[in-house]
Amino acid sequence: MAFCLFKYFPFGGLQRDFLHIAMACRDRGHEIHVFTMKWEGEIPPDFYLSLISAGGLTNHTRCRNFSKKVCDCLKKGRFDLALGFNKMHCLDVYYAADPCYKAGMEERKSILYRTGPRYRTYAELEKAVFERASHTHILLIAPHEKAKFIAQYGTPVERFHSLPPGITGDRRLPDNAKEIRNTVRKEFGVAGDEFMLLMVGSGFETKGLDRSLAAIAGLPEKLRHKTKLFVIGKGKTKSFEKQAQTLIIADRLTFLGGRDDVPRFMVGADLLLHPARSENTGTVLIEAMASGLPVLATDICGYAFHVREAGAGLLVPSPFRQQEFNELLHRMITSPERAAWKRKGIEYVERNDFFSMPEKAAEMIESLALKKAAL
């Protein structure tokens, strides 16, 4: 099997899904060949890694060139199945980690922007997967995006295959949660009467970090001085550090970078903030619920409905208004409902299947490979 993605780094949601699915396929006896432009971190045992040099001055040019080069490799390699985690040509299966690009650009960008090379490149790569003439099957993790793809490309319904959200068992609240919570808060200087906010995810602008900083600055002075925000993820921090200084809350903000011990921070924190501008799924919302961490997120997140159905926090309605987000943050920090939000989140996750996604994906991929072989 050929697994294709633009870049791998250990702390991205798409990248984690890729790794878990690839390992599930490997454990079922399949040979895993990975094609990527860049790999950060350890390479799992029995993975065959091919680093593809895709020249170009811009990201979209490199992605286009990568797609072309991978196509050539796939044609020469006699692979039984080609699975992509980014949109590109020559895929048998695409794992739909990202939303419909064309629909999103029509909503947010001008016609002039959509004549540019960046738009044309990404629209072309998306079309290669979803157009009616394509044979690519789609592993769907965000049900609400299906209608958008069909509206834009006329994709036959039978090419879509739904998967449940996927989180790992280490996100469950551990038996020694109280001990972990005390250790984390002591390690990072969070007093017992202080409120620890957490944001998790790479791409800070998309995740709405600026919105979180503005909301913290908008808290009453006494409460603001007892609130700290910790940010886990990979991204450029300079503009947000400058914003925090301007808002006089620089001492309330800590960047932790990408980390592999996110569960302990979820146990130590009091609230997950996820005021994302765009979010195809938002697996972190379910991870927070599993660990008993109440959630405050925008309702545009693909998995936001799980927070609502569980009663595990509050959602910021669209269109986003900063003042409304500020008020909801204040309410959640001071609310006596925190214990109920925590309990309901844990109970909801345990009632639903959120832990078997990689295995179900592997089964589906196997089935599609067998169908392809039979043609």
* Cβ–Cβ under 8 Å, residues 221 and 214: no
Question: Is residue 12 over pLDDT 90?
Answer: no
pLDDT the model gives residue 3: 98
Given a cut of 90, is residue 11 above it in pLDDT?
Answer: no
Percent of the chain at pLDDT above 90? Answer: 97
**Pair 145, 175 in one domain:** no
- What is the structure's pLDDT at 267? 98
Q: Tell me the pLDDT tens digit for each residue of 273-293.
A: 999 999 999 999 999 999 999
Tell whether 99 and 182 lie within a shared domain.
no
- Judgement on whether residues 53 and 181 belong to the same structural domain of the protein: no
pLDDT tens profile 86-130: 999 999 999 999 999 999 999 989 999 999 999 999 999 999 999
- Which of 254, 258, 265 has its CA nearest to residue 216? 254
Q: What is the pLDDT of residue 375?
A: 84
- Say yes or no: 112 and 213 in one domain: no
Contact 208, 298 (CB under 8 A): yes
Q: What is the 3-state secondary structure (H, E, C) of the chain?
A: CEEECCEECCCCHHHHHHHHHHHHHHHCCCCEEEEECEECCCCCCCEEEEECCCCCCCHHHHHHHHHHHHHHHHHHHCCCCEEECCCCCCCCEEEECCCCHHHHHHHHCCCCHHHCHHHHHHHHHHHHHHCCCCCCEEEECCHHHHHHHHHHHCCCHHHEEECCCCCCHHHCCCCCHHHHHHHHHHHCCCCCCCEEEEEECCCHHHHCHHHHHHHHHCCCHHHHCCEEEEEECCCCCHHHHHHHHHCCCHHHEEEEECCCCHHHHHHHCCEEEECCCCCCCCHHHHHHHHCCCCEEEECCCCCHHHHHHHCCEEEECCCCCHHHHHHHHHHHHHCCCHHHHHHHHHHHHHHCCCCCHHHHHHHHHHHHHHHHHHC
Mean pLDDT of 197-215: 96
Average pLDDT over residues 73-81: 92
Rg, Å, the chain Cα set: 21
- Pick from 228, 306, 327: nearest CA to 316: 327
CB atoms within 10 A of CB 129: 23
Whether residues 106 and 189 fall in one domain: no
Q: Can you give the pLDDT at residue 89?
A: 97
Q: How many domains does the chain have?
A: 2
Same-domain pairing of 79 and 225: no
Contact between residue 204 and residue 232 where contact means Cβ atoms under 8 Å apart: no
Q: Average pLDDT of 219-247? A: 97
229 and 314 share one domain? yes
What percentage of the chain exceeds 70 in pLDDT? 100
pLDDT of 345 higher than 90: yes
What distance, in Å, lies between the first and last C-alpha atoms of the chain? 17
In the predicted structure, residue 77 carries a pLDDT above the cut 90: no
Q: What is the mean pLDDT of residues 42-62?
A: 96
**Calpha distance 24→290 (Å, rounded):** 22
User: CA 222: distance to chain centroid?
Assistant: 34
Q: 25 φ, ψ to 5°?
A: -65, -40
Both 223 and 197 in a single domain? yes
Q: Which token pair is 73?
A: 């490799």
Rounded average pLDDT over 252-271: 96
Residue 213's pLDDT is what?
98
Residues 224 and 344 grouped into a single domain: yes
Token output for 286: 């379910």
**Residue 51 to residue 349: CA distance in whole angstroms:** 38
Range of 240's domain?
A: 169-351
Q: Do 15 and 148 share a structural domain? A: yes
pLDDT exceeds cutoff 90 at 78: no
Count of Cβ atoms closer than 10 Å to residue 299 Cβ: 14
CATH classification of the domain holding 65: 3.40.50.2000
- Average pLDDT over the chain reads 96
Shared domain check, 209 and 112: no
Query: Taking 90 as the threshold, does the pLDDT of residue 179 lie above it?
Result: yes
- Tell me what the mean pLDDT of segment 65-79 comes to: 94
- Residue 229 and residue 239 in contact, taking contact as beta carbons nearer than 8 Å: no
In this structure, are 145 and 219 located in the same domain? Answer: no
